[in-house]
Amino acid sequence: MTEEIVKYLSSAEAAKLVGAIQEEEDIEQTNRRLLTVYSKDDKELCWFDFEEVKSAVGDVPAGERKEAVHNYIINHIPDWVNDL
């Protein structure tokens, strides 16, 4: 089994595309939250598992958590969103 290598946009490229990051309930799996990323023209670009992002960001003071999550996501937008 081969593991696919994911390439990410630069944070500058991602910042130009991303209009919003919305926390949502997963409609297919109970008690699971997603962070859906939307473009500036409200097109869904990709999503992240809330718990995985929270774990990756680590222990951040409450006042800095939103910014830490935003920065993590901006730095992990896959390059394939340009093909949407």
Q: What is the 3-state secondary structure (H, E, C) of 21-35?
A: EEEEECCCCCCCEEE
At 7 the three-state DSSP class reads: coil
Whether 2 has a pLDDT exceeding 80, the answer reads no
> Model-level pTM?
0.90
pLDDT at 4: 83
Element (H, E) at 47: strand 44-49
C-alpha to C-alpha distance for 59 and 14, rounded to whole angstroms: 24
Domain ranges of the chain: 11-83
**Nearest residue to 69 (alpha-carbon basis) of 48, 54, 51, 59:** 54
